[in-house]
A and B are shown apart, each in its own frame.
Chain A
Amino acid sequence: MPAANSNSPLPGAAPAVGVKVEGLAKRFGTFEVLRGVSFTVQPGEIFVLMGPSGSGKSVLLKHLVGLERPSAGRTLVASHDGADPATRERVRMALVFQAGALFNSLSVYDNLALYPREHRLGDEAAIRDRVMRALQILSLENAVHKLPAELSGGMRKRVAIARALVMEPQLLLYDEPTSELDPVMSATITEIIATLRQRYQVTSIVVSHDRDLALSIADRVGILMGGQLVFLGPPADLRQPTDPRVADFLNPRIDLEHPRFKHLET
């Protein structure tokens, strides 16, 4: 990558890419996590993938960045196979991990500087400029010298997003970006996701079970249950879902007379 890239504005230097998932299936031993999932995400779109815990959302996300190999079907990122490690060289993809996955032995600054340093995207001054711009976007300038262990949950997520931004991604994937956060911080992260898309037109796929996030910023929503897509459409259609499973997932009724945990499969 040319060093001149480091002087370009944050994301948007390269055009956003589309994503296609075709009949994706994944089996761990005898357990089928994904059973033939297909959908398309348009360039620049915010696609929110929802579903109960254990429905295979995060596993699907890992397929897009090549961290898992499909048992059947395939994922295409800008028409390159997601399982092919070379795709990561052709398309800049960034994944914001649920727990942040920050490098614990490195400061916030070094966490962000690692990518441009390893890929030799300019001299130290250019890298510093690039890192500080990403920190500024997320209002993290004061955390620059802190270690990940010194950060709160919300800051940790923001640093993880900033680290993804430094890559100037064409595709930005978020794994449960608002989990374990208080409602205000969840709203903040939701605003950040929408702002980044609005400002840089980056394609964003968000795995979440945050209903407010999906209804407020998604262009389209997919709901995954038992490894299959049971809903795919605009968030407006979720306000009055026809599928009882989707309705129950989005508006679960608390029934103390017949608690649902007693009917759960073990």
Chain B
Amino acid sequence: MTARLLAWLPNPILQVLHGTGSALFLLVRSLRHLPSLPRQFGRFIEQCHLIGYTTMPIVGILSFFIGSVLALQSGHAGENVGYKQFIGALVGLTMARELGPVMAAVLLAGRVGSAIAAELASMKVYQEVDALETMNIPPERMLVLPRLAAVLTMMPVLTIMADLVGWFGGAIVAQYTHFISIEPASYFANLRQYMDFSDVLNGLIKAEIFGFTVVLVCCHIGLNTRGGPREIGASVTRAVVTSLILILVLDFFVTKALM
């Protein structure tokens, strides 16, 4: 009955369902090896370095300009309406609840997700993954689990950094733009008045969900690559595009769920 129902579904929907199910199985298989994590500490640290440390500069640069442009746009629009004194709260809340986690996740997909998909796809195509299986070393344990643990550890760091840099970007623009001219003290006072820790926490929860999804999807697509060099490139594209779509779709639902 279920099989007959599935046969009626259009192919793209079937592919999405198949991909989701298969990625969830990969997650379950990886989590089964959770007790092995302490002795994979070296691999975990290596992944933390790749996922977190090397992504920090680009997250910093982007968040600075996002905070700046937020202050600029809201200052420009608020000049006539008279809400320019709320720029601190506006930049603070937008960065913490929305743009900090989303931009960190988007950069993670582009910078780290693509690298993960490329590495695992090439390992799969050149039979390194098969070699691991014949050596009775589960690829999920060695290749997926340390990455999942690392992203869960590093996403809050990246997000908090994005929030802070974005807030300071906004403060600098608010101070030095002639039609805004708000002192940092009043900018941050306003930010603190309308924000509390739950706003930052809200963003951190989102970031964890996005980061985890990006790494899982990229590992899954990489490990399911078949063919040759051309397919490695195709897998990287698919991994990044799927990650970006998932970030934005999940963003809506998670935001709604957290309200």
Contact = CB atoms under 8 A, between A and B. Distances in A.
Interface stretch (B72-80, B135-143, B198-206): B135-143
B139 to A, nearest CB: 11
A94 B137 contact: no
A243 B130 CA distance: 36
Contact of A115 (B39, B122, B135): B135
Contacts of B130: 62, 67, 95, 97, 101
Contact of B136 (A89, A101, A104): A89
Mostly, the B contact residues are helix
Interface residues of A, number: 21
A87 B130 CA distance: 16
Contacts of B39: 120
A239 interface: no
A95 B131 CA distance: 8
Contact of A103 (B128, B133, B136): B128
Contacts of A119: 136-137
Interface residues of B, number: 14
A15 interface: no
A89 B126 CA distance: 24
Nearest to A64: B134
Contacts of B142: 118
A101 B137 contact: no
Mostly, the A contact residues are loop
B186 interface: no
Contacts of A88: 133-134, 136
Contacts of A234: none
A167 B127 contact: no
A192 B189 CA distance: 77
A94 B133 CA distance: 10
Contacts of A104: 122, 126, 128
B128 A93 contact: no
Interface in B134-183: 134-137, 142
Nearest to B133: A67
A95 B137 contact: no
B137 A118 contact: yes
A99 interface: yes
B127 A97 contact: yes
Given A65-B134, A115-B135, 9 more contacts: A67-B134, A93-B134, A94-B135, A99-B126, A103-B123, A104-B126, A104-B128, A118-B135, A167-B135
8 contacts: A67-B130, A88-B133, A89-B136, A94-B135, A99-B126, A101-B130, A118-B137, A167-B135
